[in-house]
C-alpha cells in the first residue's frame, strides 16, 4: 500500500520532506526540463520521502508534456513514492477515467483530488486500494478562505466538513488530506478531526509557510503521518552554476528543520 511505501521511504531516508517537481521556464537555470529535474532528483534522492510533480507545468509544455514528465522522474528510486499533483475532480464516470490515467497509464503512487463533486468524485480514486488519495482540504493560497473557511449552519467551517468526509471516505486506509503550511491553526484542526491520516503539507519556502509551526500541527501522536512539500525553495535555491548543490543544501536544511520540530514535539518541548 501507498502508506506502507511512504513510511518505508521516510524511515530509510530519515525524512518527511517531499520535493515538488514544478518546472517553471522563467526560473529554471537551463531549458531542458527532463535534464534539470533529473539533476534535482539525483541530488536529493537520499533526502526525501516522496516527489510530487505538478501536472500543470508539464501539460503546459504541449502534446509531449506528459512524456517529458515520465522522462523527468526516471531517476526516482523505486522505493520512493511519486505523488501526482493533479487535483482532479469530476462526476463519477469521468473521475473513473482520471483515476485510470493517473494510476494505470502513468503508474503514480498517489494523486491529489478535488472533493467538490462529493463522494462519487473521490471514490473512483480511493478504490485503487494500493494507491494514495490526497483530498484537497485547506490549501495554502491566500484566497483559500473565500470558500474553504465559509461557516456552516451547524457550526465550523467548510474545510472542517471536508476533513470529516475524508475521514469517512478512508475505508481502505489510503485517503489523506492536503493542508497548506501557511495556516497552522487550520492544520491543527484537521489533525484533530483526522488523527490517523496522512497530511500532505505544501507551502513551505516560496509561499512562506511557517515550517516548524505547520509540522508540529501536522504530526500525528506517534510523530508521523505527514509529508512536508517544498518546490521552488529547493528547485530554484540558486540559478547560478552550482544550482544542483544549492538544491541539495536547501533540501538537507528543510529535512533537518522538520526533524528538529518532530524531536521537540515528541520531547514535549
Which residues have a catalytic role annotated? 87
Spell 176-198 as b/e; 16+ CB within 10 A means b. Answer: bbbbbbbbbebbebbbebbeebb
The cell 518546472 sits on which residue?
Answer: 23
* Per-residue cell: 17: 520532506
Q: Are 202 and 223 in contact (CB under 8 A)?
A: no
Handedness of CA 117, 199, 45, 132 (dihedral sign): negative
Helix axes 184-193, 158-168, angle to 10 degrees: 40
Inter-residue contact 147 to 120 (CB < 8 Å): no
Q: Parallel, antiparallel, or unpaired: how do β-strands 226-230 and 199-201 relate?
A: parallel
Residues sharing a CB contact under 8 Å with residue 62, sequence separation 6 or more, in sequence order: none
Sign of the CA dihedral running 245, 246, 251, 256: positive
Q: Which residues of 120-143 are buried (b: 16+ CB within 10 A; e: fewer)?
A: ebbbbbbebeebbbbbbbbbbeee
Amino acid at each position: 500500500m501507498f502508506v506502507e511505501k511512504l513510511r518505508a521511504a521516510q524511515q530509510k531516508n530519515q525524512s518527511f520532506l517531499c520535493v515538488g517537481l514544478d518546472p517553471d521556464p522563467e526560473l529554471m537555470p537551463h531549458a531542458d526540463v527532463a535534464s534539470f529535474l533529473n539533476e534535482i532528483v539525483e541530488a536529493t534522492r537520499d533526502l526525501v520521502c516522496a516527489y510530487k510533480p505538478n501536472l500543470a507545468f508539464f501539460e503546459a509544455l504541449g502534446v509531449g508534456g506528459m512524456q517529458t514528465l515520465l522522462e523527468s522522474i526516471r531517476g526516482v528510486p523505486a522505493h520512493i513514492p511519486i505523488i501526482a499533483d493533479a487535483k482532479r475532480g469530476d462526476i463519477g464516470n469521468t473521475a473513473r477515467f482520471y483515476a485510470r490515467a493517473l494510476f494505470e497509464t502513468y503508474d503514480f503512487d498517489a494523486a491529489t483530488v478535488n472533493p467538490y463533486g462529493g463522494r462519487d468524485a473521490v471514490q473512483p480514486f480511493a478504490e485503487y486500494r494500493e494507491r494514495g488519495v490526497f483530498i484537497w482540504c485547506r490549501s495554502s493560497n491566500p484566497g483559500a478562505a473565500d470558500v474553504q473557511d465559509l461557516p456552516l449552519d451547524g457550526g465550523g467551517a467548510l474545510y472542517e466538513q471536508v476533513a470529516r468526509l475524508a475521514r469517512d471516505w478512508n475505508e481502505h486506509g489510503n485517503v489523506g488530506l492536503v493542508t497548506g503550511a501557511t495556516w497552522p491553526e487550520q492544520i491543527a484542526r484537521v489533525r484533530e478531526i483526522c488523527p490517523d491520516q496522512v497530511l500532505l503539507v505544501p507551502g513551505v519556502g516560496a509561499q512562506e509557510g511557517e515550517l516548524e509551526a505547520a509540522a508540529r500541527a501536522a504530526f500525528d501522536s506517534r510523530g508521523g503521518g505527514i509529508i512536508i512539500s517544498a518546490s521552488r525553495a529547493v528547485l530554484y535555491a540558486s540559478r547560478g552554476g552550482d544550482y544542483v548543490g544549492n538544491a541539495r543544501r536547501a533540501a538537507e536544511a528543510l529535512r533537518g528543520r522538520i526533524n528538529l520540530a518532530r524531536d521537540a514535539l515528541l520531547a514535549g518541548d
